[in-house]
Amino acid sequence: MSSYVTDFICTYKLMDDEFGQDYLYRAQLLQAFGLDKWDEDEVTTVMDATYAIVKDVTIFRELIEAGRKNKEIENLLNLIYEEPDEEEKERDDNKLVFELLFKYEFFDMTHKCLSEYLREGRVKEETRALLQTLLKKV
């Protein structure tokens, strides 16, 4: 089993064109999960393991709560729960918000927060503030 990869900085938003940004986002998302190509089962395994590590950490609980208040994430949650299937009914709401923090708009800062925590055991205040600000803007 792979674990979440923390040894790189997300640079996809630095690309000049939308196609390049999207392509690099996808490549860096795969990189974070230790993959060369998309593997739903492996992504789920790594995501679940990563969430298990951070779910009770105060700063991540706060970030998940900030994510829940984000309009785009709120709209996605409403769509998902409009007609939930059995799996979605049993799903941890906080975990779903955590997964949505990997969307294009938030992945760079989510990755930075996770990387700092997984490497150093803490998230710098500046990093946390940047993600919370981003969640309020989008």
> Cβ distance 67 to 73 under 8 Å?
yes
Residue-range definition of the domain harbouring residue 52? 12-137
Task: Classify residue 6: in a domain, yes or no.
Answer: no
Residue 106 lies in a domain: yes
Task: Specify if 25 maps to a domain.
Answer: yes
Q: Is residue 4 part of a domain?
A: no
> Burial, 118: exposed, middle or buried (Cβ in 10 Å; 0-12, 13-18, 19+)?
middle
Give the C-alpha separation, 47 to 69, whole Å.
21
pTM (global) more than 0.85: yes
pLDDT for residue 82:
76
- pLDDT below 50 — which residues of the chain? 89-90
Flag whether 90 is in a domain.
yes
Q: 75 in a domain, yes or no?
A: yes
User: Does residue 67 fall inside a structural domain?
Assistant: yes
- Domain assignment present for 2: no
Q: What is the pLDDT of residue 18?
A: 96
Instruction: Report d(CA 135, CA 81) in Å as an integer.
Output: 21
- Total domains in the chain come to 1
For residue 122, the SS3 value is coil
